[in-house]
Structures are given as C-alpha cells and as structure tokens.
Amino acid sequence: MEILYKILIDPFLQMGSAPDLLVQTLWEGLVSGVLYSLIALGFVLIFKASGVFNFAQGIMVVFAALTLVGLYELGIPAFVALGMTIVVMYGLAFLVERLMLRPLVNQPDIILFMATFGLTYFLIGFGELVFGGNPKKMIASELYLPSGAYDIKMFGGFVSLQKIDIAAAVIVSLMVIVLAVFFQKTRIGRALRAVADSHKAALSVGISLEQIWVVVWFAAGIVALVTGIMWGARSEVSFSLQIIALKALPVLILGGFTSIPGAIIGGLIIGIGEKIGEFYWGPLLGSGIESWLAYVIALIFLLFRPQGLFGEKIIERI
Amino acid sequence: MFYREAGQFKTTYQADQAVFPILQDRIGLALILLVAFVGIPLTASDFFISVVMIPLLILALASIGLNILTGYTGLLSLGTGGFMGVGAFACYKLTTLYPGVNVIIWIFVSGFFATALGILFGLPSLRIKGFYLTVATLASQFFLDWSFIRIQWLTNYNTSGAIEVPTRTLFSYPVTGPNATPQLRYLVILAIVTLLTWFASNLVHGRIGRMWMAVRDMDLAAELIGIPLYRTKLLAFAISSYYCGVAGALMVFFWYGSAEPGVFNIDQSFTILFMVIIGGLGSLTGSFFGAALIYGLPIVMKIVLHALGINILPATVEHLTFMSVGALIVLVLIIEPLGLARLWQITKQKLRVWPFPY
Amino acid sequence: MSSAEVASGDVLLAVENVSLAFGGVKAVSDVSFDIRKGEIRAIIGPNGAGKTSMLNIINGFYHPQQGRITFKGETRSKMRPHDAAKGGIARTFQNVALFRGMTSLDNIVAGRTLRMNKNLFWQLLRFGPAMKEEVEHRHRVEEIIDFLKIQEIRRTPVGRLPYGLQKRVELGRALAMEPELLLLDEPMAGMNLEEKEDMSRFVLDVNDHYGTTIVLIEHDMGVVMDLSDRVVVLDHGVKIADGTPDEVKGNQSVIDAYLGVAH
C-alpha cells in the first residue's frame, strides 16, 4: 500500500509542491531532448537516403567536436578551425562512402549496420589516439555562443534557463527548417528522397548513388558537428558522449527512422520523460535510472506500436 | 593429397549425417582434444595457460552463446555483457550463500538465472524484429549494468562495489581464489567448455538448429512449415543466455578472480559480437577463431612492437586495437561476411583437391 | 466432361464469401469456391486478380475481413499459418522462399519439422532417440529427393542453385510435409519448355502417387488446360468463372478479362 502511494501519488505531490522545480526539470528535459533530437536527425538523414543505420553517429559527434577543439589548440583561430573541421567531416564522408558503403552496396541492411559498429570502434580508437582520451573544453565563447543564464522568477522560486540551451533550441529549429526546405525544394533534396525510396529506381533515372551518399553523410557530419559544439558547450567534450548518444536510438524508435519531425518530437518525449523520471521516481529506485529509462520507455512503446509513433506500418508482401 | 575422402563411403544415413564425416577431420579433432586436455597442462607455461588459454576458452564460450542467438537465429543482440554479468553475480551469491555446495555445480546453475532474464528480455521478440529488437537488447544491457551497481545485495554490500572470489575447492584442491593453480583452473574450464560446445554442436546440427536457421533465413516460410516462431526465438534467447551466463561466471571465478560491476558493460557486448562476426556468424568453430583473433590481437601487437624495439604505451595499444578491430570488422564484412570460419572451409575445400586447383 | 463428373471427391477446403482489403484496396471481393479431395484445381486470372492473396488466405498469412474458410470439416473465420501447416497444407511461393543459409537436403528435412518431436533433452545429446528420428525422416526425405531427381545437389547451399532447381527443392520441402493440400504459386514461372514439362510431370505424379490435392496458380494456359481438373477464374478480386478447363475456356467473361475488354 505504501509502495503504491510512493509510486503513484507522492511524485505528483512533489511536483505540485514545488512547481518551479517542476518547470526547471521540464526545461532540463527539453534541453537534453533537443540534443537527442539533433543526433537522431543525423541518423534519419543517413537512413532516409542510404538505408544505412549509422550506429557511428554518436562517435561522429565526439569526433567532430574533438577535431574542432584540437585544431583550435594548435593555435588556429576559432572560425578557421570551424571551417577546417567542416572539410574534415567532408573527408570522412568521402572515405566512408568509398571504403565502406561502396563495397557493401548490395548487402542486406544488417551487414551495413554491423559495418557501422566497426566504423564506430575505428573512430573511437583513432580519436583517442590523435586527440587523447581526456575531456576537453569546447570553445564556446570563441564561437560567440552565449553563456550565463536567465533566472526567471516563477512560482515563488525561480527557474534558471541557460542561454546556451536557448541557443541550442534556436539552432535546432533553424536546422530543421533548413533541412525541410532542402529536402522539399532543391534538386539534391529530391534526389535524396528518390534514393530513399528505391535505390534501383533512382539509379535508373540517372541519379548517382555514390554522390548522394557522400552528400548525405556529409550533411550528417555537419549535424554531428553542430551537436558536438552545443553539447560540448553545455558540459564537456569526452568519449562518454558516445554512449549517451546511443539514446538517440530510443528517440528513433518513437519518432520513426525516416521522419525529421518524428526525430524532434521523439527527442523531446525521451528527454523530458527521462528527466522527470529520474528526478521524481529516481529516488525510489536509486539514482542513475537515466542510463536505461529511455530504452525501457522505447521498449514499452514498441510493444504497443511495433513501428514506433511515426513509423510506417510494414506490410510484408509475399 | 592427404585430405582426400576417396574410399570413405557412407553406407548409412547416420554416418552421412555425422558432424565430422571426413575421417581426417575426426582425427584432427581427436588430436586437438588430446593436446588440449593432456599436452597443454603438462607442457605449457603458467603464463600461456593464464593469459592465453583460459581467456580464449571463456570468450569462445560466450561467443558460442551469442552465435546461437545472432548467427543461427538472426537476432542481433547487444546485451551479451549483461547476461554474462547475471551468470557471474548469480554464481557469487549462490556460492556465498551456500558455500557447502561445489562451486562447479553453482557455475552450471547460475546459467539458468541468465536464462530466466534472457527469456524475459526476449519476450518482446514476439512483436519486435530486426533493428528494433537490437535496441531492445540495449535496454537489457543498460538496465542490467545499472542493477549490478545499484543492487548492493549482489556484491554482498561490498563498499567498493566489486566482488572478490572466495576460495573454493574440488576434491580438496583449490580451484578458485588466489591459491588455485592455472592448470587446475584451466582443466575445469576446458571440461565445461568442451561439454557445452558438444551440446551446442548437437543442437545446431539437429532439428532445433534447423528451426533457428529457418527463422533467420525466412521466418514467413518457417511459419508455413509449422515452425512456431515465437517459441523458437525464445528458445534461442534461453540457450544463448545460458551460455553467456556460464561464461560470465567462469570469467569471474576462474579467470579474473574478482569483478568490478563495470566489467560487463556494453564494451563487453561489442567485444563478443565482434568475435562472432569475424569468426563467422552461424559457425561454432568460428566462435573459437573469432575469440582467438580479437583477444589475441593486442597481445600479438605488443609482442611484435616490443620485438621491433618500439616502446609503446599500453593505452596506445588499446587505441590501436580499437582501430584495428573496427577496420577488421568492415574488412571481414566486405570480403567474407561469413568470417574466418568460411575462409577455413574454403581452405579445406582447396586442400581436398590439392594439388589440383579444383 | 462436366465438373460434376470430374471431381467426385469430398470437399477438402471451401472458401465462402471471402473478402480481403488492404487499406482501401480490395484484393479479394466476396469469393466462394471449393476444392475437392484429390483434384488439381487451378486459379487463374490476369495480373492483380487476387490469386496470390487467395492462396495467402488459405494458408493463413492474410486474414480476410469477411467470409469463412472450411477445411476438413472445421470452419474458421481465419486460418493461422501454424494450423494450416498442422492440418496438412503446404505451399510454394512465386519468389522461391527457401532457407538460403542451408543446403537443399536441410531445406527439405526442415519440412519434416512438424513430425519431429524428440525434445530438447535428446537434442542436446544427439545420440539415441534424436539420431534415430533424424535417420527415420532422412529415409522419407531421400524418397522425395529421388522422386524429384535432385540427388546431386543435396549438399549444395540453395543460394547457389539455378532458379529451376530451387523451385524443385522448394517443392521437395513442401512434399516433405506430406500435405493433404498443396498450394503451388506459379510453379512454372521463369522456366523453359523442358523444365515446365518436368515440373508438370512432378505435379501430376504427386497427385497420382500420393493422392495430394493440388491448387495451382499458373499463367501458362497450356499447362492449366493439361493439368487441371477444375479451374477458378478471378479478375480484379472477383470470381468470374468456375468449372472444367473446357467450360472455362469458352466463357466470354474470361476471354474478355484476358483481352482487357473494359467492363
């Protein structure tokens, strides 16, 4: 009886008794949700256009951030370093397409999925070798990203909104708009959608699969870079980010693997769900449930809707 | 010339269906077993046994477990580390609660705890397939990871959160703990791994193996033949987790001698998965090849680099290992998706007709 | 010969007023026909007529929104694949649904799965009852291999076989189930004349030798006319004719359907 009370009633009472804390928690959830969405966005880009489930998206985030900071530490001015990192991400996309995607072009999806495991480990080793395993500080101020916070008086207490988080939300919205426009209006965007639908059909109308793949992995690389910058600015740049990035997978389950709005909404749901769960129910179970809560939420979702919130129902035709 | 089958006729279906129909293969296997059970304990150094043979056998056992789930049944799982951990902690609790019972019995029993959790986390496979199921296995991995740290009862409330393996004996010789000799530990592990490998081989060559492979290759057609999809998948989860659980228990009790909870993390899951991929999905011998390659790579690297006079930090070796393994995975998938086992098969084919080309 | 004379056996399976729709698309509309024991029944019709959907309904992959299926006296509103298999319905596919990771032999032996029941314990040991069971079933499988003349490719992984042989192995797997009702989805597709003659021979032999009732979807009219006892014609999901090959051949709506006359 007391357990039921603790699980079903008490947390909500707590929420009500300190609404400023609730809003703060919601905000924190929103913010991490936004970052998950960014990572999920990178996944969706690649999956939409090449059918490849890029497990390495997380490490690409870390790698991009490390490259940026690493170049800056060599003495290169911030924005030049940024430009060079963009070139590096292009190089990465090019190499991945040439060395991994092209040789595996006709293999079943699961093989490509496993290949991205290999890519992940390779980048982890390479990143640690070149940049060292110690956490680094993101060059946020050099990139003119805001710092500090707005403290808003609310509900008798106050809620602290970090300016960098607001910036992150704005940037994500901009990215989504840019991507949406890109997909719908431009020639390359249309080609990407064609390739996502059917490789063979796209080939038959003369679309070069290889070029598209480079473009799309490059775009995902840019998204990874932005994610790395924003995330690094909030905390720090370290390899543990790579594991946290795996949380994008539950986001994708909720939002579907091919939907950009799905990635955003899924990210917000997971982010908020996680934070609220950790803050209000966490003390019951012990801290750290954030490490698995997202996955369990996704799992429960899958049991009721195997195709996710926005995914398409797969009808197998025989 | 030596590997010919000429003259070896099968006159019964039973003979035809033998796992090793070629006489030379059977001789080879007998030799390997002889070397393993007799040769190595008598002649190999403590170092070789402790650092090479013991880890190899245990990792191969875990690989066999994962291979059953992923290689034979086609269910890609990233939860291997978690299930290994369940076996390890189950064994620890059992032997500390009931120290009178022989630890080897507890090793076998602890696998069933892993099985129980394996079935629990396999239940979603009724409705979830493919990538989604893989993500679900991540749920099990992260949840179990967290439980190992959070549930302090598992480590008997040890303040450091780790477990120290107590000394246990077999016929009054210590087999676990600091006084156990490598040879004795090795023989226990060898016996257990050989027995379980034999079981696995029997399963995959018979009706159950065919059912698993049918589910992997085309589950719609499998259903039509009357194969119950759900039960077949759950059986794969159950048996696979059992093997991983036993491997985990062996790992802590007979190899490490202790365990920090972090040892069964997602890295462990990936390590075993890479062994399975490189060794060969759907091949038991491949599991051994893969374990040898992945585990041996950093060791060989260190030896070679030292021999070349290059002094290198252990951290660097780790980084290089990550890079090499990652690259190797991609390479294997490109060149021969069925891994070393298939390469071995092809080699044997060539040997059969050697010196002719085909 | 009238249809009453040709098929005098009992009704093995009957579909009544079956309708199936995917989203807004009606695959099958209010179709009824029966299949008598021991006959060879063809389902024909232009592309998209709903023939494969019909087969899928019979063996339980698709569940019709309306209608009933009566099989061996039992009436259901929908069939489950497992029940179909247990009841003795076997099937081949247009696109050859073989288990590519296995050899021909293993594929056919897989067809015996329902009849193998030595449990996990014996499977772990292999020696003893499990082995005896394997050998027992191997006899049966070898009979089928002899029948289909695929001895040489026993141990070949099916992914490496040419299309015609794959179809034969698939037929072997279906036969291994010792089915009472065999559903063949375009068994002659993609075959040359010789292969078609071989396959036709096999189909007739199965029907003669084992008494298996056969339903086949086929586009080659010559094959249909030669092999079948009775024919059902579907067009746009609707049944437009049902009778002996001669009766159906002369039917004007059938001719119209194939010639694409607007209606």
Mean pLDDT of B202-213: 93
Does A257 have pLDDT greater than 70?
A: yes
Torsion A89-A90-A91-A97 (CA) sign: positive
Q: How far is CA B320 from CA A122, B276, B324, in A?
A: 9, 20, 6
**ipTM greater than cut 0.90:** no
Joined tokens for residue B313: 């930090």
pTM of the model: 0.90
Backbone angles phi, psi at A102, to 5 degrees: -65, -45
Per-residue pLDDT at C112:
92
Q: How far is CA A171 from CA A165, A223, A227, in A?
A: 10, 11, 10
Q: What share of chain C is helix, strand, coil (3-state, %, to 5)?
A: 45, 25, 30
Per-residue pLDDT at A74:
85
**Domain(s) of CATH 3.40.50.300: residues in chain C:** 1-88+179-263
Q: Kindly report, residue by residue over C91-120, the tens digit of the pLDDT.
A: 999 888 999 889 999 999 999 998 888 888
Whether residues B210 and C125 touch (CB distance < 8 A) is answered with: no
Joined tokens for residue A139: 């060059």
Does B344 have pLDDT greater than 80?
A: yes
Q: ∠ CA(A157), CA(A163), CA(A164), 5° rounding?
A: 130
- Of B181, B154, B153, whose CA–CA distance to B167 is shortest? B181
Joined tokens for residue B12: 């019964």
Per-residue pLDDT at B317:
87
Does A283 have pLDDT greater than 90?
A: no
Q: Kindly report, residue by residue over C120-151, the tens digit of the pLDDT.
A: 888 888 888 888 888 889 999 999 999 999 99
- C18 in Cβ contact with C24 (< 8 Å): no
Three-state secondary structure call for residue C238: strand
Per-residue pLDDT at A312:
57
Contacting subunits of B (3+ beta carbon pairs below 8 A): A, C
Burial category of B96 from C-beta neighbours within 10 Å (exposed 0-12, middle 13-18, buried 19 and up): middle
DSSP labels for B9-27? ---SHHHHT-SS-SHHHHH
Whether residues C22 and A318 touch (CB distance < 8 A) is answered with: no
How far is residue B219's CA from residue B75's CA, in Å, rounded to a whole number? Answer: 12
Does B177 have pLDDT greater than 80?
A: no
Q: Kindly report, residue by residue over B101-126, the tens digit of the pLDDT.
A: 888 999 999 999 999 999 999 988 88
How far is residue A222's CA from residue A219's CA, in Å, rounded to a whole number? Answer: 5
The CA distance from B320 to the nearest CA of chain A, in Å, is 6
How far is residue A53's CA from residue A214's CA, in Å, rounded to a whole number? Answer: 15
Domain boundaries, chain A: 2-304
- B328 in Cβ contact with B278 (< 8 Å): yes
How far is residue A208's CA from residue A202's CA, in Å, rounded to a whole number? Answer: 8
Q: Kindly report, residue by residue over B208-247, the tens digit of the pLDDT.
A: 999 999 999 998 899 989 899 999 999 999 999 999 999 9
List of residues 6+ apart from A216 with CB closer than 8 A = A45, A46, A48, A49, A50, A93, A192
Check if C202 contacts A (Cβ < 8 Å).
no
CATH tag for A2-304 (out of 3.30.43, 1.10.3470, 1.10.3430, 1.10.287)? 1.10.3470
Rg (CA), chain A: 21
B206 or C258: whose pLDDT is higher? B206
B62 or A77: whose pLDDT is higher? B62
Does C27 have pLDDT greater than 90?
A: no
List of residues 6+ apart from B17 with CB closer than 8 A = B205, C131, C134, C135, C138
- B319 in Cβ contact with A111 (< 8 Å): no
The CA distance from C57 to the nearest CA of chain B, in Å, is 12
Percent of chain B with pLDDT over 90: 50
Mean pLDDT of B315-339: 91
Does B205 have pLDDT greater than 70?
A: yes
B175 or B289: whose pLDDT is higher? B289
Joined tokens for residue C148: 């289909």
- Of C120, C154, C160, C113, whose CA–CA distance to C137 is shortest? C113
- Of C183, C181, C145, whose CA–CA distance to C165 is shortest? C145
| Placement of tokens 């040709």 in the chain | C6
Does C79 have pLDDT greater than 60?
A: yes
Three-state secondary structure call for residue B269: helix
CATH of domain C1-88+179-263: 3.40.50.300
Fold designation for B21-165+174-353: ABC transporter involved in vitamin B12 uptake, BtuC (1.10.3470)
How far is residue C98's CA from residue A181's CA, in Å, rounded to a whole number? Answer: 45
Q: Which of the residue ranges A8-12, A52-56, B286-290, C242-246 has the most confident prediction, judged by mean pLDDT?
A: B286-290
- C24 in Cβ contact with C237 (< 8 Å): no
C154 or A17: whose pLDDT is higher? C154
A294 or C77: whose pLDDT is higher? A294
Three-state secondary structure call for residue C76: strand
Which has the minimum average pLDDT: A4-8, B148-152, C141-145? A4-8
Q: Kindly report, residue by residue over A26-44, the tens digit of the pLDDT.
A: 888 888 888 898 889 888 8
List of residues 6+ apart from C82 with CB closer than 8 A = B223, B226, B228, C60
Check if C97 contacts B (Cβ < 8 Å).
yes
A200 or B71: whose pLDDT is higher? B71
- A59 in Cβ contact with A242 (< 8 Å): yes
Q: How far is CA B160 from CA B152, B154, B164, B168, B262, in A?
A: 10, 12, 10, 22, 12
Per-residue pLDDT at C2:
46
Does B329 have pLDDT greater than 90?
A: yes
Among B16, B64, B225, B237, which would you mutate to test the C interface (most chain C Cβ atoms within 10 Å of its Cβ)? B225
Whether residues C52 and A318 touch (CB distance < 8 A) is answered with: yes
Q: Angle at which helices B80-97 and B130-150 pack, to 10 degrees?
A: 30
List of residues 6+ apart from A98 with CB closer than 8 A = none
Mean pLDDT of B50-75: 94
How far is residue B229's CA from residue B80's CA, in Å, rounded to a whole number? Answer: 22
Per-residue pLDDT at C262:
54
Q: Which of B14, B206, B282 sits opposite C101 (nearest CB)?
A: B282
Joined tokens for residue C130: 């499990």
Whether residues C91 and B214 touch (CB distance < 8 A) is answered with: no
Buried b (16+ CB within 10 A) or exposed e, B161-185: bebebeebeeeeeebbbeebebebb
- C132 in Cβ contact with B6 (< 8 Å): no
Mean pLDDT of A111-130: 91
Q: Which of B12, B214, B225 sits opposite C177 (nearest CB)?
A: B225
Does C231 have pLDDT greater than 80?
A: yes
- Of A34, A85, A45, A84, whose CA–CA distance to A182 is shortest? A45
How far is residue A302's CA from residue A317's CA, in Å, rounded to a whole number? Answer: 22
Q: Kindly report, residue by residue over C46-66, the tens digit of the pLDDT.
A: 887 888 889 888 888 888 888
Check if B267 contacts A (Cβ < 8 Å).
no
Per-residue pLDDT at A308:
61
Which pLDDT band holds residue B49 (cuts at 50, 70, 90)? confident
Per-residue pLDDT at C50:
85
Does A192 have pLDDT greater than 60?
A: yes
Per-residue pLDDT at A17:
78
Mean pLDDT (chain B, rounded): 88
Which pLDDT band holds residue C5 (cuts at 50, 70, 90)? very low
Mean pLDDT (chain A, rounded): 83
B281 or B7: whose pLDDT is higher? B281
Per-residue pLDDT at C103:
92
Whether residues A302 and B136 touch (CB distance < 8 A) is answered with: yes
Whether residues C82 and B228 touch (CB distance < 8 A) is answered with: yes
* E strands, B55-199, in order: 163-164, 168-170, 173-176
Q: Angle at which helices A290-304 and A248-255 pack, to 10 degrees?
A: 20
DSSP labels for B55-95? HHHHHHHHHHHHIIIIIIS----S-HHHHHHHHHHHHHHHH
**A-C contacts at Cβ under 8 angstroms:** 7
| Placement of tokens 């630890």 in the chain | B103
Which has the minimum average pLDDT: A7-21, A259-273, C34-48, C111-125? A7-21
Which pLDDT band holds residue C1 (cuts at 50, 70, 90)? very low
Residues of B in contact with C154 (CB under 8 A): none
Joined tokens for residue C181: 């009702």
- A138 in Cβ contact with A73 (< 8 Å): no
Q: Kindly report, residue by residue over C174-223, the tens digit of the pLDDT.
A: 999 999 999 999 998 888 888 889 899 999 999 998 889 999 998 888 88
- Of B2, B5, B24, B59, whose CA–CA distance to B276 is shortest? B59
Mean pLDDT of C243-254: 85
Check if B4 contacts C (Cβ < 8 Å).
no
Three-state secondary structure call for residue C254: helix
Three-state secondary structure call for residue C43: strand
Burial category of A234 from C-beta neighbours within 10 Å (exposed 0-12, middle 13-18, buried 19 and up): middle
| Placement of tokens 């995917």 in the chain | C22
